[in-house]
């Protein structure tokens, strides 16, 4: 137990640079710890607020459609389980398998099961955070519609604690299979990316298209209610003690079983994942000569596509942006055909908000400098300027964010049949937002670089720059929402103003990067 706790402690100390903050001195310590506590409070408040708003919307929809809000808590539990599934699946490689201190840990006098339990316990605590910040506001909202007894509150509390276990077990299992299959190929990262995209697409399709009726597509409750198909156990959330016990066992037993399977296959899996593949009879061939900027871009693209976590994290916004734009356009077309009312007039003003949210979420640039890590000396000692290095990173941002954003705008406009001017302005705005996300991410990474890490997943998922960019993106989405609601102008005029504002911000942030990059790198990186 002591060894397990020590392993867990080490993980906590590494999380978000907690130990570095604790070991800093004076004002630095206060600043770092305040930043960490502030970020935690902000995240809790943000997710709690989102949970509160969505619970309210779902409760109202349930009252309208079913006469009561009894399914609210199971529905929110299902959503938190889905979040747990994605979060755990996402962290299986890097956090559970293929971490850099593997050799050190396995050489210590610790049982493999202790290592696994410590890794899984850390994942569980992270998942539990999401479950709690979703379920507390949901319970508060539910209590407005029904009288909750103490026993019911305790029951919800217990279910919240146990609810991440089954999704975790499933995701560890699926993540393990993905890791195993990809380990059989030379281009592991590429295979892993393809498998992840296939799995995401399958879950997405299963969740949103299974038996979907036209009216379900325009009713958010029924739309999200498809979560039942993915996590039917949420239906067990009731007032019955036996069902509660079943719920606990159904969550706990698969988790224990998967943990034991992982422990038994752990060394073999790590061996496969870290297996070195070599080329036999290599011959030096004529090399293609490229320009300095071409070489830097090529290197950035190779870095991007060599890391599955990086790709998935950064392309998530683009993926949802394109899919979302197409789905929204289809909804507009169906609603217009069914009701005869031009649904485009109602929904198109909100498209820029959705695009802003998707394309300012996790740009590749927000961790591109951090990912240089200890190898940053290579480009810094080469005859290229700092802006050449940063521009290459920005180009990857444009390729992965601004261009898909533009495409989202075009697809929406074409499917809905917007007039050419509206389509062009919308597409230009989408491009500008993708560019803003990338420039902002780069600036944030210049201000908050994380050059020391044990695993590439750390700067990608835990970097302050990534988190701050995400928060700024959410803030900008809020501004866009307020603009759409409160500016009493036609939607195209609001869009033009937003385009102008976005272009100004892009210019401003880029000029800061241009002027300050050398001094910021000297100050922040050394």
Partner 1 sequence: MLQIKNLTKKYAKDFKAVDDLSLTVAAGEIYGFIGHNGAGKSTTIKSVVGALDFDEGDILIDGKSVKTEPIECKSITAFVPDNPDIYDHLTGMQYINFICDLFGVGKERNELVKKYADEFELTQNLGDVISSYSHGMKQKLVLISALIHSPKLLVLDEPFVGLDPLASHKLKEIMKEFCAAGGAIFFSSHVLEVVEKLCDRVGIIKQGKLVKEGNVQEIIGDKSLESLFLEIQNG
State the residues that interact with partner 1 by CB under 8 A: 189, 276-279, 281-282, 284-292, 294-296, 298-299, 302-303, 306-307, 373-375, 377-385, 522, 526
CB of residue 282 to partner 1, shortest distance in Å:
4
Nearest to 79, CA basis, from 44, 43, 51, 48:
51
For residues 88 and 68, what is the distance between their CA atoms, to the nearest angstrom? 33
CB of residue 94 to partner 1, shortest distance in Å:
14
Q: Would you say 235 or 451 has its CB closer to partner 1?
A: 451
Q: Would you say 11 or 293 has its CB closer to partner 1?
A: 293
CB of residue 460 to partner 1, shortest distance in Å:
14
Q: Would you say 80 or 313 has its CB closer to partner 1?
A: 313
Nearest to 90, CA basis, from 326, 316, 381:
316
**SS3 of residue 97 by DSSP:** strand
CB of residue 189 to partner 1, shortest distance in Å:
8
Q: Would you say 67 or 526 has its CB closer to partner 1?
A: 526
For residues 389 and 404, what is the distance between their CA atoms, to the nearest angstrom? 23
Instruction: Give residue 417's Cα distance to chain centre.
Output: 32
For residues 396 and 294, what is the distance between their CA atoms, to the nearest angstrom? 12
**SS3 of residue 150 by DSSP:** helix
Instruction: Give residue 353's Cα distance to chain centre.
Output: 18
- Contact (CB, 8 A) for 256 and 102: no
Q: Would you say 214 or 518 has its CB closer to partner 1?
A: 518
CB of residue 248 to partner 1, shortest distance in Å:
43
For residues 28 and 491, what is the distance between their CA atoms, to the nearest angstrom? 47
For residues 331 and 354, what is the distance between their CA atoms, to the nearest angstrom? 14
CB of residue 208 to partner 1, shortest distance in Å:
35
CB of residue 5 to partner 1, shortest distance in Å:
33
Residue given tokens 């519609």 in the structure block: 145
Instruction: Give residue 199's Cα distance to chain centre.
Output: 15
For residues 344 and 332, what is the distance between their CA atoms, to the nearest angstrom? 6
- Contact (CB, 8 A) for 516 and 443: no
Q: Would you say 155 or 313 has its CB closer to partner 1?
A: 313
Exposed, middle or buried: residue 27 (CB in 10 Å: 0-12, 13-18, 19+)? exposed
Nearest to 448, CA basis, from 523, 511, 389:
523
Q: Would you say 149 or 281 has its CB closer to partner 1?
A: 281
- Contact (CB, 8 A) for 12 and 118: no
Torsion of CA 72, 75, 81, 86, to 10 degrees: -120
Q: Would you say 149 or 291 has its CB closer to partner 1?
A: 291
Residue 178 contacts by C-beta under 8 Å, 6 or more apart in sequence?
92, 93, 192, 195, 196, 199
Q: Would you say 146 or 375 has its CB closer to partner 1?
A: 375
CB of residue 377 to partner 1, shortest distance in Å:
5
Residue given tokens 């490689």 in the structure block: 93
- Contact (CB, 8 A) for 354 and 324: yes
Q: Would you say 104 or 284 has its CB closer to partner 1?
A: 284
- Contact (CB, 8 A) for 357 and 474: yes
Cβ-based neighbour number of residue 182 at 10 Å: 22
CB of residue 204 to partner 1, shortest distance in Å:
29
CB of residue 193 to partner 1, shortest distance in Å:
13
- Contact (CB, 8 A) for 133 and 105: no
Q: Would you say 150 or 279 has its CB closer to partner 1?
A: 279
Q: CA separation (Å) from 311 to 126, 176, 363, 466?
A: 22, 18, 10, 14
Q: Would you say 353 or 517 has its CB closer to partner 1?
A: 517
- Contact (CB, 8 A) for 444 and 472: yes
Q: Would you say 150 or 285 has its CB closer to partner 1?
A: 285
- Contact (CB, 8 A) for 101 and 50: no
CB of residue 307 to partner 1, shortest distance in Å:
7
């Amino acid at each position: 137990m002591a060894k397990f706790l020590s392993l867990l402690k080490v993980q906590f100390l590494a999380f978000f640079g907690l130990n570095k903050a604790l070991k800093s001195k004076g004002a630095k310590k206060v600043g770092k710890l305040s930043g960490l506590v502030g970020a935690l409070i902000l995240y809790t408040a943000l997710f709690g607020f989102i949970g509160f708003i969505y619970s309210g919307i779902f409760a109202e929809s349930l009252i309208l459609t079913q006469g009561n809000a009894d399914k609210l808590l199971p529905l929110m539990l299902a959503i938190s389980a889905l979040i747990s599934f994605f979060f755990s699946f996402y962290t299986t490689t890097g956090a559970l398998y293929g971490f850099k201190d593997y050799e050190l840990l396995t050489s210590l006098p610790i049982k493999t099961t202790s290592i696994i339990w410590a890794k899984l316990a850390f994942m569980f605590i992270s998942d539990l955070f999401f479950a709690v910040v979703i379920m507390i506001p949901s319970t508060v909202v539910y209590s407005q519609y029904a009288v909750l007894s103490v026993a019911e509150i305790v029951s919800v509390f217990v279910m919240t604690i146990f609810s991440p276990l089954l999704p975790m077990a499933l995701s560890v299992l699926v993540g393990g299979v993905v890791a195993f299959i990809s380990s059989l190929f030379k281009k592991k990262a590429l295979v892993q990316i393809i498998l992840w995209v296939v799995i995401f697409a399958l879950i997405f399709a299963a969740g949103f298209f299974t038996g979907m009726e036209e009216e379900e597509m325009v009713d958010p409750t029924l739309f999200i209610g498809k979560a039942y198909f993915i996590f039917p156990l949420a239906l067990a959330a009731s007032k019955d003690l036996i069902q509660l016990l079943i719920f606990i066992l159904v969550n706990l037993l698969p988790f224990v079983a998967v943990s034991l399977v992982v422990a038994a296959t752990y060394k073999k899996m790590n061996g496969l994942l870290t297996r070195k593949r070599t080329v036999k009879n290599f011959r030096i061939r004529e090399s293609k000569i490229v320009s300095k900027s071409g070489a830097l871009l090529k290197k950035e693209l190779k870095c991007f596509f060599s890391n599955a976590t990086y790709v998935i994290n950064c392309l998530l916004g683009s993926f949802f942006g394109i899919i979302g734009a197409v789905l929204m356009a289809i909804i507009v077309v169906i609603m217009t055909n069914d009701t005869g009312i031009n649904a485009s007039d109602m929904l198109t003003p909100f498209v820029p908000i959705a695009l802003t949210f998707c394309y300012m979420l996790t740009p590749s640039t927000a961790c591109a400098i951090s990912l240089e890590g200890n190898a940053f000396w290579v480009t810094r000692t080469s005859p290229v300027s700092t802006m050449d290095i940063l521009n290459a990173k920005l180009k990857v941002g444009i390729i992965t964010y601004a261009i898909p954003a533009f495409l989202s705008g075009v697809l929406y406009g074409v499917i809905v049949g917007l007039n050419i001017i509206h389509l062009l302005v919308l597409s230009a705005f989408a491009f500008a937002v993708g560019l803003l996300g990338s420039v902002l991410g780069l600036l944030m990474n210049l201000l908050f670089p994380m050059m020391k890490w044990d695993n590439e997943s750390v700067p990608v998922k835990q970097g302050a720059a990534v988190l701050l960019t995400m928060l700024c993106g959410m803030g900008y989405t809020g501004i866009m929402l307020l603009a759409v609601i409160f500016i009493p102008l036609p939607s195209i005029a609001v869009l033009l103003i937003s385009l102008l504002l976005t272009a100004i911000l892009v210019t401003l942030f880029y000029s800061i990067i241009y002027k300050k990059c050398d001094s910021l790198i000297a100050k922040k990186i050394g």
